[in-house]
Chain A
Amino acid sequence: CFDSRRRQSPRSCQHADLARLAHESRFSVNEVEALYELFKKLSCSIIDDGLIHKEELRLALFQAPYGENLFLDRVFDLFDEKKNGVIEFEEFIHALSVFHPYAPIEEKIDFAFRLYDLRQTGFIEPEEVREMVAAILKESDMILSDELLTMIIDKTFADADSDKDGKISKQEWMAYALKHPTLLKNMTLPYLKDVTTAFPSFIFNTEVED
């Protein structure tokens, strides 16, 4: 990362861009600039092109650039608004803003819905939930009988699918998640409340005063 681009940063992200991104998110200008420090680290960890590739996100989350993970794929797809296979800085800010402790719970619920709606049909279907549970069991080297897995899925849908049409709509998911707030635990990153402290290198780089 110690190239000329690093010395230019964060000036390569102009103040107008920082201000616009702050306006579009729950972050202050200083916080957007601090997150640019994190973005730079992630986006040069494998390919130094100022964009986060899936392998770089995987490396940041798992400390390994290779390996399949269903959830990482879905998270990456949701960050990648333009669907061009990379995460740009403004996409990074937009998505992280949902994880801000002060972001509206409706935004968090919506993000989680899109994450679980694997095939993007507008509904969470039993096959998708089964696929996600099976992926975690495999990831964790746990074994569960098909019968027990079916029981768990059936019980979950009995609770969440209030109109009993065999799939969970966004409205049903909203009601269900509000009733079970622990489901949204991963949708809040406490670090984002004080991001300028989390990235002290920012203090020496910033030229912006909030």
Chain B
Amino acid sequence: KFFNAFEFISSMSSGFDLSSMFENK
């Protein structure tokens, strides 16, 4: 499933997911 390194990075990196900035407010 994760044979694309960038797909792995973008789907797994919590530091690159800014939505929690909004969800936690």
Assess the A69–B12 pair: CB atoms within 8 A: no
Mostly helix, strand, loop or mixed at chain B's interface?
helix
**Which B residues are in CB contact (< 8 Å) with A135?**
13
Stretch at the interface among A9-17, A18-26, A179-187: A179-187
- Of B3, B6, B14, which contacts A183 at CB under 8 A? B6
Asked if residues A186 and B8 are in contact (CB atoms below 8 Å), the reply is no
The A/B interface has a contact count, at CB < 8 Å, of 98
A199 within 8 A of partner (CB): yes
Closest chain A CB from B17 CB (angstroms) = 5
Report A189-210 CB contacts with B as 1/0, cut-off 8 Å.
1010000001100000000000
Q: What 1/0 flags go to A67-111 for Cβ under 8 Å of B?
A: 001111111000000000000000000000001000000000000
CA distance A42 to B18 in the complex (A): 13
Q: In angstroms, how far is the closest chain A Cβ from the Cβ of B5?
A: 4
